[in-house]
Chain A
């Protein structure tokens, strides 16, 4: 019961009015940063660190953590309302989120995303309190070969995202892989597809690509049918989810929590992987999988839960091992260090009061986010009432600012514009965008882990099959890839209707 006592002590510290204010400010700022397309959690947290240097350690870390998970929620808002992902990890939410907006269910989508985020974040924090140590060790079991095998499972889910045409899905996926190849080869050090431009040595910025392909191309495609009005803002009554929507979201939220929590424990995973795989899981396992892509609540609730569960679970390796599991956490770790706190087990012995206050604030922050966002759903949806010309201009402005702030360079603005044109072309050719995002996110991680694995085994491919975890995962991946083929060969009469 020691843990509980210390947690209660943490709550006492976190509930002082100053710290509550910091948590609230962090949630609010995080939501705003999340709403702005392109300005991501990394940039957001990094920009605000200098401001917090003079605050006391507990307060400043509480605020930065709140910003960090607040952005995960804020990213949803523009994804759902405007088909423009505010964050990379919300890119997949655009598919069903925007479809729901077109059906007049924008309010329901946002409410369910907020509730899902709350559940995911809270469950992950409970894990942090009661099982941090074993969970942290669990994450370490995933070495490069296991990581690679996990990526194989991820890429195999391309099959699930294919939609009408497998060929078009593969075209889209291959494009994503090609784009992710640009830059310095992570192992041999040779520049690839950089055309002698040193700006391209780091590759094209993922955020600029996502904002361009999804957001800008959406705005560009308005031109074609500018006479037809945009989606209507829903009335006050349709803001709340219906009973059916609640019921359908529950299993999706549960799956999203599982996916996000599990992947969040693994150092090197990003929130985008969680939301993508959660969407793919819905495509595979949801009872309503055939409605996904047409405005199914599962497509919003699942990924949005997953990325919040991931954001909170990713703090476990930081607290137990002192390892930043993702780029955002690395920035957060920098803030810890600047305050003279070394993340890791020592934090609980040397500064246990602060450590528990931060953990308590995670619970408080998740509640604050829920309280902040559900009432604001009405306000956010009223964005849709703004006349189209003004709205698109404002969005465009924010996209340009967002792309610029990634590296403070105009180059990324042009990248964003270029990929906006590409996205428009793909839309007109009816090529789905989701497979491209999947390979863009997973491609570099897969390449890196493949090559690290082969360096460990010194070129021996059996490293993937001789280790139990990776062997099982590779098997699962192969099964998923083969599943449509198996169905194809079965006589029609034998295939059972999954919904029967």
Chain B
């Protein structure tokens, strides 16, 4: 009997001790600008995605320079789950004292509050945007042996025979899905979306195996495929040509007004005192525009495209408006 009791007691103690660790020891004194950040008090940088991913990599590149600029520790904390919703909830729920900031990316951060069934507890207004880091424009590509040589060929064919071609996305209401919806809205060309909810690698695999006709992806996903001659990129959904794919015309050049892509930046919870916001913004700008960071980002196929907090906020609002317009198209259940 005594053994049983000892087991139970130790087990209970272990459980209590560990669950206790989870309780959030959050900051309790609101900072007033000048003394921000306090020496030895670290800043949490919440990444709403797993480690090793593109968002996480960008944050970890920025982190050492942020530390230098702010003179305190910056810790990257991964809170993955529910397409970013878990991390965004944690970020917007934190105290707006500057000691918690986070990486925010669209479409995830823009889209999740638009769909009421997902029960997101935040909106655009819950974030204080601090700066935009990169844009990864969307592209449309076909098989190397496809009869379609130009963007116009492809879109005309999809308009004449709606849904005759399958196109990959990385899941419902992802950047790729919105890009398809925006193409449909502007050009009337309709593709049959196939949602690969596991992400870009699954979509690319299915495209390489010729199980889907059209690959919708980001520039960073197709740079290498183009070099290998495994995909023919017909158009890029951005205002200017991408340095990674200089031969690919933009949708604008072909006469279609479509801009889409994945965007990443950094934000704090809304209600941050101005003085603190200024300090964080300045440090972020230094880090984002740091030459070595930029170089490493472009090695990943990502073009740095800095915007200040105010401009990032405007951009965000513009994207939200774009997405709201085509929301019915991406909500339709096929």
Question: Which residues of A line the B interface, CB within 8 A?
Answer: 42, 45-47, 49-50, 53, 140-144, 184, 186-191, 196, 198-199, 201-202, 219, 222-223, 226-227, 267-268, 317, 321-324, 330-335, 337-338, 340, 342, 344-346, 388-390, 392-393, 396-397, 400-401, 404, 407-410, 413, 417, 448, 451-452, 455-456, 458
Contacts and interface: CB of A to CB of B under 8 A. Distances in A.
Contact of A455 (B11, B89, B192, B227): B192
B195 to A, nearest CB: 5
B79 A408 contact: yes
Given A47-B51, A226-B7, A455-B194, A190 B201 contact: no
Nearest to B22: A410
Contacts of B126: none
Contacts of A322: 224-225
A191 B112 CA distance: 13
Interface of B: 1, 3-4, 6-8, 10-11, 14-15, 18-19, 21-22, 50-53, 56-57, 60, 77-83, 85-86, 89, 115, 117-121, 163, 166, 171-173, 192-198, 201-202, 204-206, 208-209, 211-212, 224-225, 227-228, 296, 299-300, 331, 333-334
A204 to B, nearest CB: 12
Contacts of B56: 334
A140 B209 contact: yes
3 tightest A-B CB contacts, nearest first: A334-B52, A143-B211, A201-B82
B117 A344 contact: no
Given A198-B86, A392-B11, A413-B19, A267 B52 contact: no
Contacts of B208: 140, 321, 323
A208 to B, nearest CB: 13
B194 A456 contact: yes
Nearest to B197: A186
A401 B18 contact: yes
B61 to A, nearest CB: 9
A413 B18 contact: yes
Given A144-B206, A186-B195, A226-B4, A202 B11 contact: no
Contacts of A331: 50-52
A357 to B, nearest CB: 20
Secondary structure at the A interface, as helix, strand, loop or mixed, is helix
Contacts of B206: 143-144, 452
A338 B59 CA distance: 12
Contacts of A408: 77-79
A268 B198 contact: yes
14 contacts: A144-B211, A190-B117, A198-B118, A199-B86, A201-B81, A223-B8, A334-B51, A344-B224, A346-B224, A389-B6, A393-B14, A396-B14, A452-B195, A455-B166
A323 B193 CA distance: 21
Given A226-B7, A337-B57, A342-B224, A407 B79 contact: yes
Contacts of A417: 15
Contacts of A400: 14-15, 18-19
Given A46-B50, A46-B51, A268 B205 contact: yes
A324 B227 CA distance: 18
A340 B292 CA distance: 13
B226 to A, nearest CB: 11
Given A202-B81, A222-B7, A400-B18, A456 B300 contact: no
Contacts of A404: 18, 21-22
Given A49-B52, A408-B79, 20 more contacts: A45-B52, A140-B208, A184-B118, A187-B172, A191-B118, A198-B119, A199-B86, A201-B118, A202-B86, A223-B8, A226-B7, A268-B202, A344-B224, A388-B3, A392-B10, A396-B15, A410-B19, A413-B19, A448-B197, A455-B193
A184 B82 contact: yes
A342 B300 CA distance: 8
Contacts of A188: 172, 333
Contacts of A323: 201, 204-205, 208
Contacts of A202: 81-82, 86
Given A190-B117, A267-B201, A458 B227 contact: no
Nearest to A219: B11
B191 to A, nearest CB: 11
Most buried by A among B7, B83, B121, B228: B7
Contacts of A330: 52-53, 201
A346 B172 CA distance: 32
Contacts of A226: 1, 3-4, 7
B172 A223 contact: no
Contacts of A143: 206, 209, 211
A298 B50 CA distance: 37
Given A198-B82, A331-B51, A267 B205 contact: yes
A421 B19 CA distance: 18
B17 to A, nearest CB: 9
A267 to B, nearest CB: 4
Contacts of B83: 184, 201
A223 B4 contact: yes
A389 B228 contact: no
Nearest to A387: B3
A191 B163 CA distance: 27
Nearest to A225: B4
Given A202-B81, A388-B3, A324 B201 contact: yes
Contacts of B331: 189
B80 to A, nearest CB: 6
A50 B64 CA distance: 12
A396 B14 CA distance: 8
A456 B208 CA distance: 15
A334 B18 contact: no
Contacts of A397: 14, 18
A68 to B, nearest CB: 12
A45 B18 CA distance: 23
A186 B173 CA distance: 11
B293 to A, nearest CB: 12
Contacts of A409: 22, 79, 86
